[in-house]
Amino acid sequence: MLKREIMAKEDAKESIVKTRDARPWGTIGMPEFGIVTALPKEFAATKAMLHQPQRMHVPGDHNIYEIGHMPARDGSGDHSVVLTLQTQPGNNAAAISATSLLRTFGSITDVLMVGIAGGAPDHRRPGHHVRLGDIVISNHYGIIQYDLVSLSPEGAVFRGASRPPSTPVLAMVNYLEAERLSGHYPWEKHMRRGRNIPHADRPPDSTDVIHTPKPPYRGTLTHPQDSDRKPGHPKVHYGRIGSANILLRNPQIRDQLRDALDIRAFEMESSGIADGSGQHGFLAIRGICDYCDQYKNDIWQQYASIAAAAYARALIEAFPIDAAQ
Protein backbone atom coordinates (compact mmCIF):
# COMPACT_ATOMS: atom_id res chain seq x y z
CA MET A 1 0.00 0.00 0.00
CA LEU A 2 2.79 2.41 0.96
CA LYS A 3 4.72 1.53 -2.18
CA ARG A 4 1.63 2.22 -4.32
CA GLU A 5 1.16 5.66 -2.68
CA ILE A 6 4.80 6.57 -3.26
CA MET A 7 4.55 5.53 -6.91
CA ALA A 8 1.36 7.59 -7.32
CA LYS A 9 3.10 10.69 -5.92
CA GLU A 10 6.07 10.17 -8.22
CA ASP A 11 3.72 9.81 -11.21
CA ALA A 12 2.01 13.07 -10.23
CA LYS A 13 5.37 14.89 -10.02
CA GLU A 14 6.38 13.49 -13.41
CA SER A 15 3.08 14.63 -14.89
CA ILE A 16 3.65 18.20 -13.65
CA VAL A 17 7.19 18.22 -15.05
CA LYS A 18 5.95 16.93 -18.41
CA THR A 19 3.23 19.59 -18.47
CA ARG A 20 5.80 22.34 -17.92
CA ASP A 21 8.43 20.83 -20.20
CA ALA A 22 5.96 20.12 -22.99
CA ARG A 23 6.29 23.80 -23.97
CA PRO A 24 2.80 24.45 -25.26
CA TRP A 25 4.18 27.80 -26.40
CA GLY A 26 5.97 26.02 -29.26
CA THR A 27 9.61 26.69 -30.04
CA ILE A 28 10.00 29.87 -27.98
CA GLY A 29 11.85 28.04 -25.22
CA MET A 30 12.05 28.46 -21.49
CA PRO A 31 11.84 32.14 -20.47
CA GLU A 32 14.87 34.03 -19.20
CA PHE A 33 13.04 37.23 -18.30
CA GLY A 34 9.77 37.63 -16.42
CA ILE A 35 7.74 40.84 -16.64
CA VAL A 36 5.03 41.72 -14.12
CA THR A 37 2.35 44.33 -14.79
CA ALA A 38 -0.36 45.55 -12.43
CA LEU A 39 -2.96 47.02 -14.82
CA PRO A 40 -4.54 45.82 -18.08
CA LYS A 41 -3.22 48.85 -20.00
CA GLU A 42 0.32 48.03 -18.82
CA PHE A 43 -0.18 44.40 -19.81
CA ALA A 44 -1.43 45.43 -23.28
CA ALA A 45 1.51 47.79 -23.80
CA THR A 46 4.08 45.16 -22.82
CA LYS A 47 2.41 42.41 -24.83
CA ALA A 48 2.79 44.65 -27.89
CA MET A 49 6.58 44.43 -27.41
CA LEU A 50 6.57 40.62 -27.70
CA HIS A 51 6.99 38.70 -30.94
CA GLN A 52 4.37 35.97 -31.41
CA PRO A 53 2.89 36.16 -27.91
CA GLN A 54 0.96 33.06 -26.88
CA ARG A 55 -1.40 32.63 -23.96
CA MET A 56 -0.41 29.93 -21.48
CA HIS A 57 -2.36 28.41 -18.62
CA VAL A 58 -0.54 26.55 -15.85
CA PRO A 59 -2.66 24.28 -13.63
CA GLY A 60 -2.60 25.49 -10.04
CA ASP A 61 -1.18 28.90 -10.97
CA HIS A 62 -3.69 31.77 -11.00
CA ASN A 63 -1.39 34.14 -12.90
CA ILE A 64 -2.30 35.03 -16.48
CA TYR A 65 0.68 34.43 -18.77
CA GLU A 66 1.69 35.47 -22.26
CA ILE A 67 4.94 34.04 -23.58
CA GLY A 68 6.81 35.45 -26.55
CA HIS A 69 10.27 36.43 -27.62
CA MET A 70 12.43 39.47 -28.25
CA PRO A 71 15.39 39.17 -30.62
CA ALA A 72 18.81 39.94 -29.21
CA ARG A 73 20.17 43.03 -30.92
CA ASP A 74 23.49 41.39 -31.80
CA GLY A 75 21.75 38.68 -33.81
CA SER A 76 22.76 35.89 -31.43
CA GLY A 77 19.18 34.59 -31.14
CA ASP A 78 15.89 35.29 -29.37
CA HIS A 79 15.25 35.96 -25.71
CA SER A 80 12.24 34.13 -24.32
CA VAL A 81 10.06 36.41 -22.17
CA VAL A 82 7.01 35.64 -20.04
CA LEU A 83 4.55 38.38 -19.15
CA THR A 84 1.99 38.27 -16.36
CA LEU A 85 -0.79 40.47 -14.98
CA GLN A 86 -1.52 40.87 -11.28
CA THR A 87 -5.00 40.09 -10.01
CA GLN A 88 -5.10 43.53 -8.36
CA PRO A 89 -2.75 46.48 -7.73
CA GLY A 90 -0.58 46.69 -4.63
CA ASN A 91 2.65 45.36 -3.16
CA ASN A 92 1.06 42.27 -1.62
CA ALA A 93 -0.43 41.17 -4.94
CA ALA A 94 2.87 41.94 -6.67
CA ALA A 95 4.79 39.69 -4.28
CA ILE A 96 2.32 36.87 -4.87
CA SER A 97 2.54 37.26 -8.65
CA ALA A 98 6.34 37.29 -8.61
CA THR A 99 6.52 34.25 -6.35
CA SER A 100 4.12 32.27 -8.57
CA LEU A 101 5.97 33.39 -11.70
CA LEU A 102 9.32 32.17 -10.41
CA ARG A 103 7.88 28.94 -9.05
CA THR A 104 6.34 28.10 -12.42
CA PHE A 105 9.28 29.22 -14.55
CA GLY A 106 12.48 28.23 -12.80
CA SER A 107 14.54 29.35 -15.80
CA ILE A 108 13.91 33.07 -15.15
CA THR A 109 16.97 35.04 -14.10
CA ASP A 110 15.46 38.53 -13.76
CA VAL A 111 12.02 39.98 -13.04
CA LEU A 112 11.03 43.39 -14.42
CA MET A 113 8.17 45.44 -12.96
CA VAL A 114 6.88 47.48 -15.90
CA GLY A 115 4.12 50.06 -15.80
CA ILE A 116 3.06 53.53 -14.74
CA ALA A 117 3.81 55.69 -11.72
CA GLY A 118 3.36 59.18 -10.35
CA GLY A 119 6.28 61.52 -10.85
CA ALA A 120 8.11 63.76 -8.39
CA PRO A 121 8.76 66.95 -10.37
CA ASP A 122 11.41 69.37 -9.20
CA HIS A 123 11.26 72.62 -11.15
CA ARG A 124 14.23 73.95 -9.14
CA ARG A 125 16.58 71.36 -10.68
CA PRO A 126 16.06 70.85 -14.45
CA GLY A 127 18.10 67.64 -14.56
CA HIS A 128 15.95 66.06 -11.83
CA HIS A 129 12.66 67.43 -13.12
CA VAL A 130 10.40 64.45 -13.89
CA ARG A 131 7.65 65.18 -16.40
CA LEU A 132 4.64 63.30 -17.73
CA GLY A 133 5.65 60.63 -20.24
CA ASP A 134 9.17 60.29 -18.82
CA ILE A 135 10.69 56.96 -17.77
CA VAL A 136 12.12 56.33 -14.30
CA ILE A 137 14.50 53.40 -13.69
CA SER A 138 15.17 52.25 -10.14
CA ASN A 139 18.82 51.31 -10.95
CA HIS A 140 21.25 50.72 -8.05
CA TYR A 141 19.24 52.87 -5.63
CA GLY A 142 16.51 50.23 -5.58
CA ILE A 143 13.08 50.70 -4.04
CA ILE A 144 12.09 52.65 -0.92
CA GLN A 145 9.01 51.30 0.85
CA TYR A 146 7.90 54.71 1.99
CA ASP A 147 5.08 53.53 4.22
CA LEU A 148 7.94 52.31 6.42
CA VAL A 149 9.35 55.84 6.65
CA SER A 150 9.33 57.81 9.88
CA LEU A 151 8.25 61.40 9.18
CA SER A 152 8.99 64.04 11.80
CA PRO A 153 9.77 67.78 11.98
CA GLU A 154 13.45 66.81 11.92
CA GLY A 155 13.07 65.02 8.59
CA ALA A 156 12.40 61.58 7.14
CA VAL A 157 14.15 58.37 8.10
CA PHE A 158 13.40 55.34 5.96
CA ARG A 159 13.20 51.96 7.62
CA GLY A 160 12.56 49.80 4.59
CA ALA A 161 14.73 49.65 1.46
CA SER A 162 15.00 46.83 -1.04
CA ARG A 163 18.20 45.16 -2.09
CA PRO A 164 19.63 46.62 -5.32
CA PRO A 165 18.91 45.07 -8.72
CA SER A 166 21.31 42.47 -10.10
CA THR A 167 24.70 43.49 -11.45
CA PRO A 168 24.06 42.28 -15.05
CA VAL A 169 20.83 44.28 -15.29
CA LEU A 170 22.47 47.39 -13.86
CA ALA A 171 25.34 46.99 -16.31
CA MET A 172 22.88 46.94 -19.21
CA VAL A 173 21.04 50.00 -17.86
CA ASN A 174 24.40 51.80 -17.86
CA TYR A 175 25.04 50.57 -21.40
CA LEU A 176 21.75 52.04 -22.60
CA GLU A 177 22.62 55.32 -20.89
CA ALA A 178 25.95 55.35 -22.71
CA GLU A 179 24.05 54.82 -25.96
CA ARG A 180 21.76 57.72 -25.12
CA LEU A 181 24.77 59.95 -24.56
CA SER A 182 25.94 58.90 -28.02
CA GLY A 183 22.63 59.99 -29.52
CA HIS A 184 20.90 56.58 -29.72
CA TYR A 185 17.47 56.01 -28.17
CA PRO A 186 16.54 52.39 -29.01
CA TRP A 187 13.37 52.46 -26.88
CA GLU A 188 11.85 55.19 -29.03
CA LYS A 189 11.48 52.96 -32.10
CA HIS A 190 9.83 50.27 -29.98
CA MET A 191 7.14 52.72 -28.87
CA ARG A 192 5.69 52.42 -32.38
CA ARG A 193 4.81 48.81 -31.61
CA GLY A 194 2.05 50.08 -29.31
CA ARG A 195 0.53 52.50 -31.81
CA ASN A 196 -2.59 50.36 -32.38
CA ILE A 197 -3.53 50.45 -28.69
CA PRO A 198 -6.28 53.03 -27.97
CA HIS A 199 -4.94 56.33 -26.56
CA ALA A 200 -1.35 55.35 -27.44
CA ASP A 201 -0.47 58.75 -28.90
CA ARG A 202 1.48 61.21 -26.82
CA PRO A 203 -0.99 63.71 -25.29
CA PRO A 204 -0.53 67.43 -26.00
CA ASP A 205 2.05 69.24 -23.90
CA SER A 206 -0.73 71.57 -22.77
CA THR A 207 -2.03 68.72 -20.57
CA ASP A 208 1.31 68.45 -18.73
CA VAL A 209 0.55 70.87 -15.91
CA ILE A 210 2.14 71.06 -12.45
CA HIS A 211 -0.02 72.70 -9.80
CA THR A 212 1.45 74.44 -6.80
CA PRO A 213 1.98 72.02 -3.90
CA LYS A 214 0.35 74.28 -1.31
CA PRO A 215 -3.35 75.03 -0.72
CA PRO A 216 -5.48 76.03 -2.52
CA TYR A 217 -3.46 74.24 -5.30
CA ARG A 218 -4.89 76.47 -8.02
CA GLY A 219 -1.64 78.01 -9.22
CA THR A 220 0.71 76.35 -11.68
CA LEU A 221 4.48 76.02 -11.93
CA THR A 222 6.56 76.48 -15.07
CA HIS A 223 8.54 73.55 -16.41
CA PRO A 224 12.26 74.46 -16.42
CA GLN A 225 14.33 74.53 -19.58
CA ASP A 226 16.41 71.36 -19.89
CA SER A 227 19.01 71.06 -22.66
CA ASP A 228 19.17 67.31 -22.04
CA ARG A 229 15.52 66.81 -22.99
CA LYS A 230 14.24 65.96 -26.49
CA PRO A 231 10.92 67.73 -27.03
CA GLY A 232 8.09 65.29 -27.64
CA HIS A 233 10.03 62.28 -26.34
CA PRO A 234 10.37 60.64 -22.93
CA LYS A 235 13.42 61.47 -20.86
CA VAL A 236 14.98 58.64 -18.86
CA HIS A 237 15.70 59.23 -15.16
CA TYR A 238 17.60 57.03 -12.71
CA GLY A 239 16.92 57.08 -8.99
CA ARG A 240 14.91 55.80 -6.10
CA ILE A 241 11.32 54.74 -6.62
CA GLY A 242 8.96 55.00 -3.67
CA SER A 243 6.58 52.07 -3.28
CA ALA A 244 3.75 51.58 -0.77
CA ASN A 245 0.19 50.30 -0.45
CA ILE A 246 -0.89 53.92 -0.64
CA LEU A 247 -2.33 55.86 -3.58
CA LEU A 248 -0.42 59.11 -3.11
CA ARG A 249 -2.46 62.20 -4.00
CA ASN A 250 -0.76 64.78 -1.79
CA PRO A 251 1.86 67.04 -3.44
CA GLN A 252 3.20 68.24 -0.07
CA ILE A 253 4.02 64.70 1.06
CA ARG A 254 5.34 63.98 -2.44
CA ASP A 255 7.80 66.86 -2.22
CA GLN A 256 8.81 66.08 1.36
CA LEU A 257 9.69 62.50 0.42
CA ARG A 258 11.34 63.67 -2.79
CA ASP A 259 13.66 66.02 -0.95
CA ALA A 260 14.39 63.77 2.03
CA LEU A 261 14.95 60.52 0.13
CA ASP A 262 15.67 61.64 -3.45
CA ILE A 263 12.62 59.76 -4.77
CA ARG A 264 11.82 60.27 -8.46
CA ALA A 265 8.56 58.31 -8.75
CA PHE A 266 5.83 56.79 -6.57
CA GLU A 267 3.86 53.58 -7.14
CA MET A 268 2.34 50.56 -5.39
CA GLU A 269 4.04 47.36 -6.58
CA SER A 270 7.83 47.35 -6.87
CA SER A 271 8.53 46.72 -3.19
CA GLY A 272 6.43 43.56 -3.50
CA ILE A 273 8.38 42.52 -6.60
CA ALA A 274 11.67 43.03 -4.76
CA ASP A 275 10.41 40.84 -1.91
CA GLY A 276 8.73 38.22 -4.11
CA SER A 277 11.69 37.78 -6.46
CA GLY A 278 13.85 36.34 -3.68
CA GLN A 279 17.46 36.13 -4.83
CA HIS A 280 16.57 36.67 -8.48
CA GLY A 281 17.44 39.93 -10.16
CA PHE A 282 14.75 42.60 -10.48
CA LEU A 283 14.29 46.08 -11.90
CA ALA A 284 11.46 48.63 -11.82
CA ILE A 285 10.72 50.50 -15.06
CA ARG A 286 8.05 53.17 -14.73
CA GLY A 287 6.40 55.57 -17.15
CA ILE A 288 5.18 58.77 -15.50
CA CYS A 289 1.46 59.47 -15.89
CA ASP A 290 0.62 62.01 -13.15
CA TYR A 291 2.11 64.16 -10.38
CA CYS A 292 0.64 62.44 -7.30
CA ASP A 293 -1.84 65.24 -6.64
CA GLN A 294 -5.59 65.72 -6.70
CA TYR A 295 -5.45 66.53 -10.42
CA LYS A 296 -4.28 63.05 -11.42
CA ASN A 297 -6.23 61.54 -14.33
CA ASP A 298 -5.94 58.89 -17.06
CA ILE A 299 -4.82 61.10 -19.95
CA TRP A 300 -1.15 60.03 -19.93
CA GLN A 301 -1.55 56.49 -18.64
CA GLN A 302 -1.48 54.55 -21.91
CA TYR A 303 1.37 56.56 -23.42
CA ALA A 304 3.39 56.19 -20.20
CA SER A 305 2.69 52.43 -20.17
CA ILE A 306 4.02 52.11 -23.71
CA ALA A 307 7.12 54.17 -22.89
CA ALA A 308 7.98 51.89 -19.96
CA ALA A 309 7.31 48.74 -22.02
CA ALA A 310 9.46 50.03 -24.88
CA TYR A 311 12.37 50.65 -22.52
CA ALA A 312 11.95 47.12 -21.11
CA ARG A 313 12.26 45.70 -24.63
CA ALA A 314 15.32 47.83 -25.37
CA LEU A 315 16.92 46.58 -22.16
CA ILE A 316 16.21 42.88 -22.82
CA GLU A 317 17.27 42.92 -26.44
CA ALA A 318 20.61 44.56 -25.50
CA PHE A 319 21.63 41.34 -23.71
CA PRO A 320 23.55 38.82 -25.83
CA ILE A 321 21.94 35.39 -25.55
CA ASP A 322 24.88 33.87 -23.65
CA ALA A 323 24.96 36.76 -21.16
CA ALA A 324 21.31 36.28 -20.19
CA GLN A 325 21.56 32.56 -19.58
Question: Which residues in 134-171 are b (16+ Cβ under 10 Å) and which e?
Answer: bbbbbbebbbbbbeebeeeeeebebeebbebbbeebbe
Of 238, 216, 234, nearest in space to 226 by CA: 234
Sorting pLDDT into bands at 50, 70 and 90, what band is 14? Answer: very low
| Lowest mean per-residue pLDDT among 6-15, 73-82, 274-283 | 6-15
Query: Which pLDDT does position 60 carry in this prediction?
Result: 87
Which string of DSSP letters, residue by residue, matches 57-100? Answer: --TT---EEEEEEEE-TTSS-EEEEEEEE-SSSSHHHHHHHHHH
Domains defined for the chain, CATH in brackets = 112-324 (3.40.50.1580)
pLDDT of residue 154: 63
Please spell the DSSP secondary structure of 22-49, one letter per residue.
T-TTTTS-S-SEEEEESSHHHHHHHHTT
Confidence of residue 22 (pLDDT cuts 50, 70, 90): very low
pLDDT of residue 151: 60
Instruction: Give the closest residue to 282 by CA, choosing from 68, 116, 154, 108.
Output: 108
User: What confidence tens digit (pLDDT) does each residue in 214-237 have?
Assistant: 888 888 999 999 999 999 999 999
Residues 81, 4: Cα–Cα separation, whole Å? 39
Q: Which pLDDT belongs to residue 214?
A: 85
Q: pLDDT tens for residues 173-204?
A: 999 999 999 999 999 999 999 999 999 999 99
